[in-house]
Structures are given as C-alpha cells and as structure tokens.
Amino acid sequence: MLTGFLNLNTMKQTDGICGEKMKRVLSLQDISCFGKCSLTLAMPVISAMGVECVPVPTALLSTHTGGLGETAFLDLTDHVMPIIEHFKRLKLHFDVVSIGYLGSKKQIDLAAEIIDLFRRDGAIAMLDPVMGDGGSLYKRFDMEYVREMRSLASVADYVLPNLTEAALLADMEYAGESVSEEYLERLFETIDESFPSGFIVTGVCDRSSSIGAVFHEKNPGRNVRCAAKRHGAGFHGTGDIFAAVMAGALAKGFGLDEAINLSVDFTAAVIERTLDAKTDERHGVRFEECLDLLTKSAK
C-alpha cells in the first residue's frame, strides 16, 4: 500500500458530479497514430494544463501526411454525430469546442452544427482552419473547400490560421512568412470586413529573427504581436501545439493576451528542445519533455 505521498481525502473532487468541476475541451480533429500531431498531441497537452480533453476523431491515419509515405486511412465521418448525440444525452458541458483538421465539406458542416449545439451552453468556439502552408493548399483540398472553410470561420469565436490560411480566407495573395506591417494591416482590414471572429495569425516572422502570432483587436483597432526566437527548421505539429495550449488556456479563463503568449512561449520551448535532440523533422516535436513547463505555467 502507498503511504506518505498523496492524501486523497484532502484532494478536491473534480469529476463534474460533486465538488469543483474540471474545465473541459471538446477536440474535433483526426488521429494520426505516429508523428505527434492532431489528437495524439492535443490530448496530453490540454491534460497537462489541468483541463479535461474529450476527443471526437474525424479520421484515423497511420501517420501524418508529411513525408512518411502512403498512409492507412479510415474515414470516421459517420461516427461523429452519434458521439455528439451521446454527449448531449449525458448533458456534458464544454468550456471550449476546438476544431482542427477536417477532411471534407461534410465534416465542415458537422463542425458548424457542433459549434451551434454547445455554444448554447456557453462554449467558446475555436477553429484552426488546417488547409495549407508555404503559400499552397494541401493536396486534398481545393478552392471549394476554402469557401466552405470561410463559412465555418465566420461562426467561430477565434480563428487560428497560419499566414497561408489567413490569405486564403481573406482571398488575398500570399506574401511569405516575413510580411510588412502594411500587408498585415491590409490582411486584417479584409478580415474585419468579412468575419465577426477574432483572428490570431500564427507563424508570422519579422526582420528581427523572431516568429510568433499576431492578434488583431478590432477595438481600438491594433495588432498585438507575441514573438519568440525564430529557428530555421520546420516541424510537424507546431500549429497543433499552439492551438492545444490556446484551447486549454481559454478553458481555464486566461485573458487572450496571456493565452497567446503562453502558446507562443511553449511552442518555442518545444521547438528548441527538439532541435537540441536533433530529431527527424518528420517524426514531430518532443513536447513530452516540456509538459512540466506547461503545467507550472498554466496554474
């Protein structure tokens, strides 16, 4: 028998039935079994913040699709709404509904329906509109998919595109990662005219060798930049890390500036740890070794 480590009688109840309720995030995206992205990353990151992460998988893949060969793939679209309907029968409450990779127009429609269902109970809707990078759409998607994603972005509270995805949503040219303030002003002006949502654009570089995120405040109309040191390497899953930390922080009631800064700082720490370990970029980031930093910061 274990003695002297934990006094379970003095711990707060957090099961949602009695005592203090644990904050809860619904995460709708795929499971890539190997490669450290999507749900296999979101679940431990959000959990490390002291927030329950409830997964709703849209597809099952053997690996992510970035350079690891042909993947085994199972479409789970038909299982999404039966899962959600069961949650509703259980009267589950979610503080944040976090939407990630969606593989089809039908899944975009389901995501909009899920946002509507849980927003009635006060959930914050957060969308990472995974569509492309480096100025190009991912190979599974076309401009019809972009148009559908614009509709979904218009019903989210917060949208977290990278610069490629932001340009696609705004129907603007892609200007690279290092963009001028003039380009950002024009981008956000277009976004303001088209979307009621708050946009947090990730992967924005500047001339001082930093990279981070830019949030546009409509009132009083200013761009808030959160940045960390830029590294030359690119790793799969860094956008998923940013989104997962944002979801956990919003669920815990962090202010938006605080949530963005925490997301940028943790993503940067994970990248540095991965670079130090000389990890194969295709294998994802070594976030597991940094979770203690996140747990301490998220208290």
Instruction: Fill in the amino acid letter for 104.
Output: S
CB 41 within 8 A of CB 244: yes
Domain span including residue 46: 23-287
On whether residue 16 sits in a domain, the answer given is: no
- Residue 208 has a pLDDT of 56
Please write the tens of the pLDDT for every residue from 129-141: 999 998 999 888 9
Whether the per-residue pLDDT at 122 is higher than 70: the answer is yes
Q: What is the total count of domains within the chain?
A: 1
On whether residue 40 sits in a domain, the answer given is: yes
Q: Which residue has the higher pLDDT, 234 or 225?
A: 225
- Residue 56 has a pLDDT of 98
On whether residue 13 sits in a domain, the answer given is: no
What is the pTM for the complete model shown? 0.90
**277 exposed, middle or buried (CB, 10 Å; 0-12, 13-18, 19+)?**
exposed
On whether residue 297 sits in a domain, the answer given is: no
Query: What does the pLDDT average to over 170-197?
Result: 90
Q: Which of 160-164, 229-233, 294-298 has the lowest mean pLDDT?
A: 229-233
Q: Kindly report the CATH number assigned to the domain that includes residue 143.
A: 3.40.1190.20
On whether residue 212 sits in a domain, the answer given is: yes
On whether residue 292 sits in a domain, the answer given is: no
Whether the per-residue pLDDT at 166 is higher than 90: the answer is yes
SS3 290: helix
Adjacent-strand bridge partners of 34: 63
- Residue 7 has a pLDDT of 47
Neighbours of 34 (CB within 10 A): 15
Q: What are phi and psi of 183, to 5 degrees?
A: -65, -45
On whether residue 3 sits in a domain, the answer given is: no
Please write the tens of the pLDDT for every residue from 236-254: 788 999 999 999 999 999 9
On whether residue 8 sits in a domain, the answer given is: no
SS3 264: helix
